[in-house]
């Protein structure tokens, strides 16, 4: 049970201890190239990935912490058993029975920001043993530490279950797209050959400019999410203040940045009735009789991304862009409109289910982060 103290002054203050006084620091010594596929023991390195090894260096309950990383995150692992560790990893063990190892793991997670702020290096950041030894953590009673660690472990387990479920749903969706959008699997009640068309036969180039300079939302297209609000996505304004030369993209239209489409950056605009995209975008609408959702998902398949890359490399445009004249000559296969729509409904339902799970996962992560801030500092106590 979690309880916020009615009066913080009534709650006893937790003792704080330097890490050097309550833990033992050791270091890994292996190189990453000693890893083997399907090795018997975990092999902890400086990234979040865990390799495998047929030999072990330690047999203990520990916290393994990366001593350096290019992304500035000193990744943490709690482990109990036999394992190997790479050079520049710290193997940290409580030196006193007053400190629970799982509690130590979560406290080191709270200290990440201070380690990042003090880290040395430029392209690769390093946390030194001096920084670790000088860091302080609260040290409540052992039973309190264990209760906190248990609560946070439960939160981690819930988050991991959501991550696994989300990965499974995404994999199922990817398989369904590959089968349904290519005709390898047909839905009940549909048969017959699919029509072979050039994109130019089913789509029309749109070149409407924001000539009046209207203050419309500017979108950007990411390869994973599709169209997103540029300001929200980049956290600051990366587009021009003068948007009079920007292209208008209306709801239901498809667009892609001509210099990144081979990466899969092609989106269906379903966020606003009217929005803007950069002048480098190619914008087109779909003719009646073709489902825009189906057609967009078709173009998101890896086979078309590879075709975009081939068309880009063979294009006369030396800037590595895929313009409309070349793009519109690409061949696509389409079923009848009714089958397109049926497939679109199935994939749209999958998208909605995944979106719900993504929101649930984001909420669970935020809740856990809040729990860490409150429980590990003693602002909220477990009863």
Q: In the predicted model, is pLDDT for residue 139 greater than 90?
A: yes
Cα distances (angstroms) measured from residue 331 to each of 121, 303, 326: 51, 12, 11
State how far the Cα of 86 lies from the Cα of 127, in Å rounded to an integer: 15
CATH topology assigned to domain 195-334: Adenine-n6-DNA-methyltransferase TaqI; Chain A, domain 2 (3.90.220)
Q: Which residues of 245-255 are buried (b: 16+ CB within 10 A; e: fewer)?
A: ebbbbeeebbb
Query: pLDDT above 90 covers what percent of the chain?
Result: 78
Q: What is the pLDDT of residues 189-238, one digit of tens each?
A: 999 999 999 999 999 999 999 988 888 999 999 888 899 999 988 888 88
Summarize the confidence of residues 262-274 as an average pLDDT. Answer: 93
Helix (H, G, I), strand (E, B) or coil at 180: helix
- Dig out the tokens for 174 from the structure: 């990817």
**Residue 346: which of 214, 177, 133, 137 has the closest Cα?**
177
Per-residue pLDDT, 72: 76
Per-residue pLDDT, 317: 54
Per-residue pLDDT, 55: 94
Per-residue pLDDT, 69: 84
Domain(s) of CATH 3.90.220.20: residues in the chain: 2-139, 195-334
CATH of 2-139, one of 3.90.220.20, 3.40.630.30, 1.10.10.10, 3.30.300.160: 3.90.220.20
Q: Decide: pTM greater than 0.85.
A: no
Question: Which segments of 181-282 does DSSP mark as H helices, in order?
Answer: 199-202, 230-234
State how far the Cα of 27 lies from the Cα of 117, in Å rounded to an integer: 22
Domain(s) of CATH 1.10.287.1120: residues in the chain: 141-193+336-383
Q: In the predicted model, is pLDDT for residue 5 greater than 80?
A: no
Task: Give the architecture (CATH level 2) of 141-193+336-383.
Answer: Orthogonal Bundle (1.10)
Per-residue pLDDT, 8: 45
- Dig out the tokens for 215 from the structure: 């203050």
Summarize the confidence of residues 251-272 as an average pLDDT. Answer: 92
């Amino acid at each position: 049970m979690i309880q916020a103290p009615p009066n913080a002054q009534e709650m006893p203050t937790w003792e704080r201890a330097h890490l050097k006084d309550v833990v033992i620091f050791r270091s890994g010594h292996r190189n990453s190239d000693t890893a083997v596929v399907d090795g018997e023991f975990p092999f902890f390195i400086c990234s979040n990935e865990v390799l495998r090894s047929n030999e072990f260096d330690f047999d203990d309950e520990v916290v393994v912490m990366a001593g350096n990383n290019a992304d500035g995150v000193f990744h943490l692992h709690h482990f109990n058993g036999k394992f190997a560790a790479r050079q520049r990893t710290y193997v940290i063990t409580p030196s006193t029975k007053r400190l629970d190892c799982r509690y130590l793991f979560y406290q080191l997670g709270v200290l990440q920001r201070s380690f990042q702020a003090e880290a040395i290096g430029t392209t690769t950041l390093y946390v030194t043993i001096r920084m670790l030894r000088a860091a302080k953590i609260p040290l409540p009673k052992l039973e309190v530490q264990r209760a906190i660690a248990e609560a946070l472990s439960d939160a981690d387990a819930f988050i991991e279950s959501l991550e696994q479920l989300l990965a499974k749903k995404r994999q199922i969706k990817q398989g369904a797209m590959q089968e349904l959008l290519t005709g390898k699997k047909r839905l009940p009640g549909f048969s017959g050959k699919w029509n072979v068309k050039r994109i130019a036969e089913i789509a029309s180039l749109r070149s409407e400019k924001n000539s009046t300079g209207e203050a419309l939302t500017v979108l950007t297209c990411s390869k994973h999410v599709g169209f997103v609000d540029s300001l929200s996505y980049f956290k600051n304004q990366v587009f021009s203040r003068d948007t009079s030369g920007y292209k208008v993209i209306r709801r239901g239209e498809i667009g892609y940045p001509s210099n990144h489409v081979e990466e899969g950056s092609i989106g269906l605009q379903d966020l606003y009735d009217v929005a803007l995209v950069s002048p480098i975008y190619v914008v087109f609408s779909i003719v009646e009789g073709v489902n825009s959702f189906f057609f967009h998902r078709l173009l998101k398949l890896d086979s078309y991304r590879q075709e975009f890359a081939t068309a880009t490399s063979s294009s006369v445009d030396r800037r590595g862009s895929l313009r409309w004249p070349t793009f519109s000559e690409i061949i696509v296969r389409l079923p009848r409109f009714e089958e397109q729509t049926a497939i679109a409904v199935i994939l749209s339902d999958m998208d909605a289910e995944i979106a719900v799970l993504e929101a649930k996962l984001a909420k669970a992560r935020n809740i856990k982060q809040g729990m860490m801030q409150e429980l590990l500092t003693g602002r909220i106590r477990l009863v």
